[in-house]
A = this chain, B = another copy of it.
Amino acid sequence: MSDLPNTMKALVLKNEGYAETMEGPSLDDLSRWASLEEIEVPSPGERQVVVRMALANVNPSDLHYIKGEYGKPREKGRPAGFEGCGTVVAAGEKARGLVGKRVTVSTSQGGSGTWAEYAMTDMAAVIPAPDGLKDEDAAALLVNPMTAWAMVDLVAEAGAKSFVMTAGSSQLGKLIASLAKERGLHSIATVRREEHRSMLEGLGVGTVLNVERDDFGAMLKEAMKQHGPTVMLDAVGDKASARIFEAMPAGARWVLYGKLSPEVPALPNLGQLVFMKKKIEGFWLTEWMEDASAEKKQDAVRQVQQRFIEGRWTTDVAAKLTLSQAPEKLASALEGMNRGKVLLSC
């Protein structure tokens, strides 16, 4: 560990705990929430590793988090960032075997964030990256792909033959589309722009619904009638989501996992919940990871890595920024989020 510097650059949180707001994962100015600082390089505990970060990912959940709108309290002065990849350069006694390995990093309780030159995390929260897995893919291995995996699993376990996903053209939407096709599930995806239709159809999406079109209501009705989807995987949470839920058949589940829209829809009416036995719930990967068996998680990781290595999946990159560029440029880079991920070169 003597070759590690004492200090490092990091984008650290400016606030503590939770905010009272629920604005969603939009960002006007990073400097309201995080600032570039020179802080101490962390020193690992017995079961921890320190990773020299190569690339860190910027997910909607990171934006929720830095704004105090995520399911974990902020720690002021700690680096932000939940996910990334890099090489283990220091480790506690129990974790020595990981030193020198290239890994996917996710943050853990008592560790520090990935938007930094060095990140510290639990040895159980790193996943060795096989040869052939690109840094870009290793850096975006968990949040999106595992969420896609877990949610398509949820659809299959619910016994649904068809499901709806909102924000179909997102990175996550594409992964879900691909997994659904593999498992023979008919996916119905919503988009806001007609130009995304052919891309999604190419990925195997069964029905693409444009929520901005005048005939959305008629198309929705027809899709419900033909395919009877009983699960909605919803990243948006707006009035269009509520309208889709209302059109879904009896027994339908509205599974909210993101809130891209600040719109606040009304609670569905009595008939929907009582007479049609519909339910509203949430999905959180963090919780799925805690609840799933080790075997189930390992299988999912292997399956996901394999798809990237074989090139069946790729991580589309919209922009790469250095840590130093982020305060000024992250907000505008994120406007291209529809085209791909924004990654930080650490």
Binding site for B on A (CB under 8 A): 22, 24, 64, 69-72, 237, 242, 256-259, 264-267, 269-284, 287
Report which residue of A71, A265, A278 has the largest number of chain B beta carbons within 10 angstroms of its beta carbon: A71
Closest to A70 in B: B275
Q: Is the CB of A267 within 8 A of B270?
A: no
Report whether over half of chain A's contact residues are helix, strand or loop; otherwise say mixed.
Answer: loop
CA distance A278 to B283 in the complex (A): 10
Which residues of B sit under 8 angstroms from A237, Cβ to Cβ? Answer: 267, 270
A277 partner, pick from B257, B266, B267, B284, beta carbons under 8 A: B284
Q: Is the CB of B269 within 8 A of A267?
A: no
21 contacts between A and B (CB under 8 A): A22-B270, A24-B270, A64-B270, A69-B270, A69-B271, A70-B271, A71-B271, A71-B275, A72-B275, A237-B270, A257-B274, A258-B270, A259-B269, A265-B266, A273-B282, A274-B282, A274-B283, A274-B284, A275-B282, A276-B282, A279-B279
Q: Is the CB of A277 within 8 A of B282?
A: yes
CA distance A265 to B264 in the complex (A): 10
Closest to A280 in B: B280
Q: A70-B275, A275-B71 are in contact. Are A280 and B256 (CB under 8 A)?
A: no
Q: Is the CB of A269 within 8 A of B22?
A: yes
Q: Is the CB of A282 within 8 A of B270?
A: yes
Q: Is the CB of B275 within 8 A of A270?
A: no
Which residues of B sit under 8 angstroms from A287, Cβ to Cβ? Answer: 277
CA distance A172 to B281 in the complex (A): 27
CA distance A141 to B22 in the complex (A): 46
Nearest 6 CB-CB pairs, A to B?
A: A71-B275, A273-B282, A274-B282, A259-B270, A280-B280, A279-B281
Report which residue of A71, A256, A282 has the largest number of chain B beta carbons within 10 angstroms of its beta carbon: A282
CA distance A282 to B69 in the complex (A): 28
Which residues of B sit under 8 angstroms from A278, Cβ to Cβ? Answer: 281-282
CA distance A64 to B283 in the complex (A): 33
Which residues of B sit under 8 angstroms from A24, Cβ to Cβ? Answer: 270
Which residues of B sit under 8 angstroms from A272, Cβ to Cβ? Answer: 282
Q: A267-B266, A279-B279 are in contact. Are A274 and B242 (CB under 8 A)?
A: no
Which residues of B sit under 8 angstroms from A256, Cβ to Cβ? Answer: 270, 273-274
